[in-house]
Amino acid sequence: MVLLNNLGYPRIGPKRELKFAEENYWKGKITRDELFKKAADLRKLYLQTQEKYLIDLIPSSFSFYDTMLDMSLMVGAVPERYKPMTNISNNTEIDLYFAMARGYQKDGLDITAMAMSKWFDTNYHYIVPELNADQTFQLLSRKIIDEFNEGKQVLQNKTPKPVLIGPVTYLFLGKEKEKGFHRVDLISKLLPVYVEVLSALERDGAEWVQLDEPCLCLDITEKERAALETAYKTFAQQCPKLKIMLTTYFGALDDNLAIAARLPIAALHIDLVRSPNQLDDVLDVIPSNVILSLGVVDGRNIWKNDYKKSLDLIERAVAKLGKGRVMVAPSCSLLHSPHDLDFETDLQAEIKNWMAFSKQKLNELKELRDILEGNSNLLDANQAAIESRRLSKLIHKPEVKQRVAAITDKDAQRNSPYAERRKLQRAKFNFPLFPSTTIGSFPQTAEVRSWRAQFKKGSITKERYEELLEQETIRGIRIQESIGLDVLVHGEFERNDMVEYFGEQMEGFVFTLNGWVQSYGSRCVKPPIIFGDVSRPFDMTVRWSSFAQSVTNRPVKGMLTGPVTILQWSFVRDDQPRSETAFQIALGIRDEVVALEKAGITAIQIDEPAIREGLPLRKRDWDHYLNWAVKAFRVSSSGVRDDTHIATHMCYSEFNDIFEHIAAMDADLLLIETSKTQMKLLGVFAQFKYPNEIGPGLYDIHSPRVPTKEEMVALLEKAVQLLPYQNIWVNPDCGLKTRGWEETEPSLRNMVEAAREMRKRC
Ligand code: GLN
Ligand code: ZN
């Protein structure tokens, strides 16, 4: 029989138990022992669930926050600034760990957190290792070893499999905190600690150890390849009894296949969901003593596995290698899928029948093996579900498909080039120099959120809810008028979330009750699920934008989320290319843009904060992605007259390497986050003489601190060094929904004062 191999399981808890326990621990509401007890219960549940589904290789490693941070603590890569924490008597390892993740402001200390970054192309964030030229490593945390030993006690008759981030990926994803060295060169100092851990595991009876090296699916250089060779040779020599499983995911090995095949390992895991085509290449070169783990069940999405497709891959591998050398697995850790579909009591039965969450994916692994062993009924039932999805009227709307097929280049283009639009817009709006605006949302106070909660519970009527929102909107408009902003916003008080709000109003989306996925630490997101052809049956935002416009003489911007961001922050269909879904959404947003214009809205902002994070992992795929992503944005924004002012917004983004695509979005105004980098991001706009208007963010909205007029003038002075002053707008970095009014009002007042000062100077 083939073995079933799981790479990782969601750890936040079926009902987010770990999140609540941690947050209570941080607030001092529960003790450390209570937190540990909760975590141990969850670990036990995970191990037993996997055992129940007959998984052979069950991962024992758990994380309180993030696995990269676990590694940093394991190898003692604790930045200098946390040293004072060791003097605080009742602090233990977990407190240091949480301090590294979240910062520490207690006991007279004020230590900043380590930075976070997106884990490959997922929405999960890892804590970035901080590395110095004279970095040393020593075994600090024995958590991985302890969890393995704990797992041995829990499992009836299996040995759990510890999981570590491999040493090369660990270093590769780290950051040099000073110049003059390359982080991957630290490998020789790092390896002894890994060897110490692996030896301890070997001694304690581990059979398999999983080492994740997803950097093998990226564009890496000879330096990383050499480091991989050194590392895995060392492990094979030092821990000869241990079976090392090298796992890769999120892409194909491609040009790194040769090196992966050369390493002295016992098993190699490949992602066949992202890259089914790599199977034959891998089968050609895999050495005869290496087992191949086939990632056939999608760890990144919520759809039922198509057993026929998976079996085709598995059978090809079995034919070549024999059952003894094949394992069946999810494509990557199940961390990126929600826990359990059984909790979804509100989903339409037909749609629910197309889905599988983590627990169901374990069952899929088991069923795939059962089918291989001859149980064909399971295959029939699965194929019935797959067929029902393929043909469902709920999914397929011919009129939507036809409309996407009929999109022309003209649909993706404004009527006139920017220079002409600019003349018309300037005549119409007659803005002062340095026009001021905000990014859209205003404080979502506890009160605003409580209205929505009451409305959802049914304890206030729709009329009452809308009346309260109208009052809040008017209040926001009056505040903006009194501050003297030039283009106002309605404040987005009616929105829970910038994607969910639109998903709820479009067809082709469903929402879950409990489909939580860890985003970072205790934070989870509940992405909408795009299951079918997307259309927009009715106006989505016109009511609130028109209302806001009706109470003021100043222009109020219509406020929309762009197609790429809606796509990126949802679980998407796997039965058509992402681009197809993006264009369907784009047409819905386009209709909304046109409806806003018709309703008398003269300026419209379409946010695309997720454009950059959608970039493929390999550079050679970037252009293809950016071409359709930018086109989707342009389809959504080009249905209007020349004198309608179109803005877009992106949070912190490095534009240097994708500049021509950002420019090709051709928004009349581009609002970006720049305050933290002191306007450095504007350099590339200057270099290419970007002609359109640009609003460089003047203050960080993540902090309650009120910025001074002077510091914002100083930033604007930098901006006018780089760009024509006639093109510059004045605005914060991002929306203000997480802020309070106490700081929002004075901050915006200072910001408008800064604009006035600049008008005098230019
Ligand atoms: N308009 C949104 C807001 O102001 C934009 C949020 C974002 O960029 N993430 O909240
Ligand atoms: Zn933003």
Q: Is the CB of 440 under 6 A from ligand 1?
A: yes
Query: Which sign does the torsion angle of CA 289, 290, 291, 292 carry?
Result: negative
pLDDT score for 487: 98
Q: Is the CB of 460 under 6 A from ligand 1?
A: no
Q: Is the CB of 441 under 6 A from ligand 1?
A: yes
Q: Is the CB of 606 under 6 A from ligand 1?
A: no
Q: Is the CB of 607 under 6 A from ligand 1?
A: yes
Q: What's the CA-to-centroid distance between 581 and ligand 2, angstroms?
A: 23
Strand partners, 491: 441
Q: Whose CA is nearest to atom 5 of ligand 1?
A: 735
How many residues are listed for the chain in this entry? 762
**pLDDT digit string, tens, across residues 650-704:** 987 789 999 999 999 999 999 999 988 889 999 999 999 999 999 999 999 988 8
pLDDT score for 677: 85
Q: Whose CA is nearest to atom 6 of ligand 1?
A: 735
pLDDT band, very low/low/confident/very high, at 41 (cuts 50, 70, 90): very high
Across the chain, mean pLDDT equals 97
**pLDDT digit string, tens, across residues 552-579:** 999 999 999 999 999 999 999 999 999 9
Q: Whose CA is nearest to atom 4 of ligand 1?
A: 735
pLDDT mean over 17-23 = 97
pLDDT score for 88: 84
**pLDDT digit string, tens, across residues 406-419:** 999 999 999 999 99
- Work out which ligand 1 atom sits closest to the CA atom of 440: 4
Residue 62: how many CB atoms within 10 A of its CB?
Answer: 23
- Work out which ligand 1 atom sits closest to the CA atom of 559: 1
Q: What's the CA-to-centroid distance between 211 and ligand 1, angstroms?
A: 38
Closest CA to 357 of 633, 71, 621, 9: 9
Structural element, H or E, at residue 209: strand 208-212
CB-based contact 603:644 (threshold 8 Å): yes
Q: What's the CA-to-centroid distance between 564 and ligand 2, angstroms?
A: 14
Residue 372: how many CB atoms within 10 A of its CB?
Answer: 18
**pLDDT digit string, tens, across residues 136-162:** 999 999 999 999 999 999 999 899 999
pLDDT score for 675: 86
Structure-derived torsion over alpha carbons of residues 265, 267, 269, 272, reported in degrees to the nearest 10: 130
CB-based contact 588:634 (threshold 8 Å): no
pLDDT score for 87: 84
Closest CA to 120 of 361, 336, 356, 267: 336
Q: Is the CB of 735 under 6 A from ligand 1?
A: yes
Q: Which of 182, 624, 661, 702 is catalytic?
A: 702
- Work out which ligand 1 atom sits closest to the CA atom of 735: 4
DSSP letter for each residue of 55-115 = -SB-B----SS-HHHHHHHHTT---GGGGGGGGSTT--HHHHHHHHHH-B--TT--BPPPP
Percent of the chain at pLDDT exceeding 70 = 100
Query: Which sign does the torsion angle of CA 523, 529, 534, 535 carry?
Result: negative
Q: Whose CA is nearest to atom 3 of ligand 1?
A: 735
At residue 510, φ and ψ (nearest 5 deg) are -130, 160
**0.90 cut: is pTM over it?**
yes
Residue 396, classed as helix, strand or coil, is coil
- Quick one: the chain helix, strand, coil %, rounded to 5? 50, 15, 40
pLDDT mean over 1-15 = 97
Q: What's the CA-to-centroid distance between 502 and ligand 1, angstroms?
A: 13
- Work out which ligand 1 atom sits closest to the CA atom of 651: 8
DSSP letter for each residue of 407-462 = --TGGGS-SS-HHHHHHHHHHHH-PPSS-B---SB----HHHHHHHHHHHHTSS-H
- Locus of tokens 């109003």: 505
Q: Report the distance separating Cα 686 and Cα 722, nearest Å.
A: 5
Q: Which of 123, 493, 607, 701 to mutate to test the pocket of ligand 1 (most atoms within 8 A of CB)?
A: 607
Q: Whose CA is nearest to atom 1 of ligand 1?
A: 440
Q: Is the CB of 649 under 6 A from ligand 1?
A: yes
> Is the pLDDT at 642 greater than 90, yes or no?
yes
**pLDDT digit string, tens, across residues 260-294:** 999 999 999 999 999 999 999 999 999 999 999 99
DSSP letter for each residue of 663-722 = HHT--SEEEE--GGGTTGGGHHHHHTT--SEEEEB-S-TTS-PPPPHHHHHHHHHHHHHH
Q: Report the distance separating Cα 573 and Cα 530, nearest Å.
A: 6
At residue 730, φ and ψ (nearest 5 deg) are -125, 120
Cα atoms in the Cβ-side hemisphere of radius 13 Å centred on 423: 4
pLDDT score for 125: 95
CB-based contact 722:682 (threshold 8 Å): yes
pLDDT mean over 224-242 = 98
Q: Report the distance separating Cα 404 and Cα 488, nearest Å.
A: 33
pLDDT mean over 363-387 = 97
pLDDT score for 1: 93
Q: Is the CB of 609 under 6 A from ligand 1?
A: yes
Amino acid identity of residue 734, one-letter, is C
Q: Is the CB of 568 under 6 A from ligand 1?
A: no
At residue 680, φ and ψ (nearest 5 deg) are -60, -35
> Which-ligand-closest: CA of 489?
1
Q: Is the CB of 737 under 6 A from ligand 1?
A: yes
Q: Which two tokens stand for residue 362?
A: 């374990």
Residues 6+ apart with CB under 8 A from 133: 176, 178, 180, 181
Q: What's the CA-to-centroid distance between 607 and ligand 2, angstroms?
A: 8
Q: Are strands 175-176 and 693-696 parallel, antiparallel or unpaired?
A: unpaired
Give me Rg for the CA atoms of the chain. Answer: 27
- Work out which ligand 1 atom sits closest to the CA atom of 737: 10
Percent of the chain at pLDDT exceeding 90 = 96
Q: Which of 496, 541, 649, 653 to mutate to test the pocket of ligand 1 (most atoms within 8 A of CB)?
A: 649
**Is residue 702 among the annotated active site residues?**
yes
Q: What's the CA-to-centroid distance between 214 and ligand 2, angstroms?
A: 29
Cα atoms in the Cβ-side hemisphere of radius 13 Å centred on 474: 8
Q: What's the CA-to-centroid distance between 177 and ligand 1, angstroms?
A: 31
Q: What's the CA-to-centroid distance between 652 and ligand 1, angstroms?
A: 12
**pLDDT digit string, tens, across residues 320-344:** 999 999 999 999 999 999 999 999 9
- Work out which ligand 1 atom sits closest to the CA atom of 561: 1
Q: Report the distance separating Cα 215 and Cα 168, nearest Å.
A: 8
> Which-ligand-closest: CA of 653?
2
Structural element, H or E, at residue 259: helix 257-262
Q: Which of 734, 737, 748 to mutate to test the pocket of ligand 1 (most atoms within 8 A of CB)?
A: 734
pLDDT score for 399: 97
**pLDDT digit string, tens, across residues 190-222:** 999 999 999 999 999 999 999 999 999 999 999
Q: Which of 441, 490, 702 to mutate to test the pocket of ligand 1 (most atoms within 8 A of CB)?
A: 441
Considering only 120-124, 295-299, 309-313, which range has the smallest mean pLDDT?
A: 120-124
> Is the pLDDT at 307 greater than 80, yes or no?
yes
> Is the pLDDT at 545 greater than 90, yes or no?
yes
pLDDT score for 414: 98
**pLDDT digit string, tens, across residues 450-488:** 999 999 999 999 999 999 999 999 999 999 999 999 999
pLDDT score for 703: 87
ipTM above 0.90, yes or no: yes
In the β-sheet with 208-212, what is the strand arrangement from edge to edge? 3-4, 326-330, 291-297, 267-271, 243-247, 208-212, 163-165
Q: What's the CA-to-centroid distance between 480 and ligand 1, angstroms?
A: 17
